[in-house]
Amino acid sequence: MTALLEARGVTKRFGGLAAVSDVSCTVAEGSVTAVIGPNGAGKTTFFNCISGVAPPTSGEILFRGVPIARRAPHKIARLGIARTFQNIRLFRSMDATENVVAARHCRTGAGILDCLFRTRSERAEERNSRDIAAELLEFTGIGRWAASPAGSLPYGDQRRLEIARALATEPDLLLLDEPAAGMNPKESLDLVELIRKIAARGITVVLIEHHMKVVMGISTHIVVLDHGEKIAEGPPDAVRNDPRVIEAYLGKEDVS
């Protein structure tokens, strides 16, 4: 498969602490890649480096061969990378549709004057954004909440709304930071099916996840971090049986 994303020697330091240390890996286009490891392994920091939230101290990140490590988050989103966060970051007082429409900003062209004077092009873009929002809410299984404040949705559906909002940016690469966190077993299984549907749309997925049944059930490739360093990488079966992984992480949970 063609490499969509490449990390080359990525390091992120906070003072004297290296949260991520010399991590290199490749994400193949069309894959579902999981980044796993114990708490404090540097997984979310690695996502922050990719998405521009916390640029790496050193190293390089390439998206379709283009360096992105020092670009602003909104410019990275326009290139085709979207993400969700470990802690839900919805606009809680806005309804579900408005949350998804807000994410369309990076794909619309209306300026301040268009919005002030409600020009024909601005109205057309808004209708299109609302149509896209309605489709994505149905796609993620939360269409019934379209007019409900985001903060009133059940927890699992708030997670789905974050995914719908990320999809509204039309990403080629979707980063999911612990999407199953706080979900019950049924919700986790449903999430696996949603990720499969997203991948079937041709969107490459990279997820951080602690639920090993979710990881092993959906991933085509796994990267394992421990104390900021990559200790293993490969297909699920190989990673499952790697002694370093068992010692660092998988041995703490039954993954059969």
Q: Give DSSP secondary structure letters for 197-236.
A: HHHHTT-EEEEE-S-HHHHHHH-SEEEEEETTEEEEEE-H
Long-range contacts of 104-107 (CB under 8 A, 24+ apart): 104/129, 104/132, 104/133, 104/168, 104/169, 106/74, 106/77, 106/78, 106/169, 107/168, 107/169, 107/170
Q: Is the pLDDT reported for residue 253 higher than 60? A: no
Q: Which helix (H) or strand (E) holds 81?
A: strand 81-83
Residue scoring higher pLDDT (195 or 120): 195
CB 169 within 8 Å of CB 107: yes
Residue-level pLDDT at 246: 85
Q: Let me know whether 128 and 74 are in one domain.
A: no
The pLDDT of residue 117 is 45
Q: Last residue of some domain: 170, 199, 230?
A: 170
Question: What's the pTM value of the predicted model, to 2 decimals?
Answer: 0.91
Residue 83 has a pLDDT of: 97
Instruction: State how far the Cα of 172 lies from the Cα of 165, in Å rounded to an integer.
Output: 14
Question: Are 25 and 104 within one domain?
Answer: no
Q: Are 225 and 166 found together in one domain?
A: no
Above 80 in pLDDT, residue 245? yes
Tell me the CATH number at 230: 3.40.50.300
Based on the domain organization, do 60 and 6 belong to the same domain?
A: yes
Residues 221 and 233 in one domain: yes
Query: Considering the chain, what percentage of its residues have pLDDT values greater than 90?
Result: 75
Domain of 182? 1-80+171-256
Contact residues for 145 (Cβ-Cβ < 8 A; gap 6+): 96, 137, 153, 157, 161
- Flag whether pLDDT at 252 surpasses 70: no
- What is the reported pLDDT for 256? 43
Same domain for 152 and 176? no
Average pLDDT over the chain, rounded to whole? 91
pLDDT per position as a tens digit, 121-175: 667 788 889 999 999 999 999 999 999 999 999 999 999 999 999 999 999 999 9
Helix (H) or strand (E) holding 159: helix 155-167
Q: Kindly report the backbone phi and psi dihedral angles of residue 235, in degrees, each rounded to the nearest multiple of 5, phi listed first.
A: -70, 160
Whether residue 110 is found in the same domain as residue 59: no
95 DSSP 8-state letter: B
Of 170, 198, 221, the domain-final residue: 170
Domain-embedded: residue 85: no
Q: What is the pLDDT of residue 2?
A: 80
> What average pLDDT does the segment 233-241 reach?
92
Contact indicator for 1, 174 with CB cutoff of 8 Å: no
Q: Please report the pLDDT score of residue 107 as a whole number.
A: 77
Say if residue 66 is in the same domain as residue 180. Answer: yes
Q: How many domains are there within the chain?
A: 2
pLDDT above 70 (res 251):
no
Question: How confident is the model over 36-53, as a mean pLDDT?
Answer: 95
Q: What is the pLDDT of residues 174-229, one digit of tens each?
A: 999 999 998 888 999 999 999 999 999 999 999 999 888 889 889 999 999 999 99
